[in-house]
């Protein structure tokens, strides 16, 4: 999926007059590593700060999933601790920038039971990749008692994934909401890359 998505972007760039391809750091590293670029494409480095410029950002009630407020991008500069203080809320972010990794949106909340910040999303990978997905979580989440959930939904044709970001490498309590979403993105990018490379 990741390779197909990036090949699609490359093919489109080749049809334009400028032949420019905008890539975030993870994507650039991927296309170079997998030798997907042709010599007549100009790669434009895109700062990951722009990933959520056109995102839908919503604060929602945890129990009812009722929309509390639509937020501007600037809301993501809030400290991650915002979710711990406002335990009755979760944050929902939907962005086209997530499509390359097979995700439409990511919800983030503070889980009082496990005392951890939990990311939740639907991951569009085939059912046959279940073992590879679970192996990635087992290998890349730090800590002895890391609880995560990976369940395939036949109805949706995707994996329903929940995992505590506290156990992801480079996590720290002082990060902003935006930094937390970037951490989740990089983790999922690596997951999808590993699954595809090992199929």
SS3 track for the chain: CHHHHHHHHHHHHHHCCCCEEEECHHHHHHHHHCCCCCCCCEEEECCHHHCCCCCEEEEEECCCCCEEEEECHHHHHCECCHHHHCCCEEEEEECHHHHHHCCCEEEEEEECCCCEEEEEEEECCCHHHHHHHHHHHHHHECCCCCCCEEEEECCCCEEEEEEEHHHECCCCCCCEHHHHHHHHHHHHHHHHHHHHHCC
Q: Is the pLDDT of residue 145 over 70?
A: no
pLDDT band at 119 (very low <50, low <70, confident <90, very high): very high
Domain residues for the domain of 32 are 2-46
Q: Is the pLDDT of residue 39 over 90?
A: no
Mean pLDDT of 29-48: 88
79 plus 128 within the same structural domain: yes
Query: When comparing pLDDT for 21 and 118, which is higher?
Result: 118
How many independent structural domains does the chain possess?
Answer: 2
115 plus 180 within the same structural domain: yes
6 plus 104 within the same structural domain: no
89 plus 146 within the same structural domain: yes
> What pTM does this model have?
0.92
131 plus 33 within the same structural domain: no
């Amino acid at each position: 999926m990741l390779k197909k998505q990036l090949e699609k972007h490359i093919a489109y760039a080749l049809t334009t007059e400028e032949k420019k391809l905008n890539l975030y750091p993870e994507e650039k590293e991927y296309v170079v590593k997998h030798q997907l670029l042709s010599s007549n494409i100009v790669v434009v480095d895109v700062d990951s700060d722009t990933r959520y410029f056109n995102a839908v950002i919503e604060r929602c009630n945890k129990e009812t999933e009722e929309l509390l407020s639509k937020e501007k991008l600037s809301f993501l500069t809030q400290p991650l601790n915002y979710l711990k203080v406002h335990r009755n809320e979760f944050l929902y972010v939907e962005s086209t920038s997530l499509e390359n990794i097979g995700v439409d949106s990511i919800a983030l909340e503070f889980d009082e039971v496990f005392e951890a910040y939990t990311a939740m999303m639907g991951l569009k990978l085939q059912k046959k990749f279940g073992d590879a997905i679970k192996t990635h979580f087992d290998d890349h989440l730090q800590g002895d008692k890391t609880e995560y959930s990976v369940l395939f939904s036949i109805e949706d044709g995707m994996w329903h994934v929940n995992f505590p970001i506290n156990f992801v490498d480079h996590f720290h309590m002082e990060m902003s909401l935006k930094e937390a979403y970037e951490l989740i993105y990089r983790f999922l990018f690596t997951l999808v890359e590993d699954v595809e490379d090992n199929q």
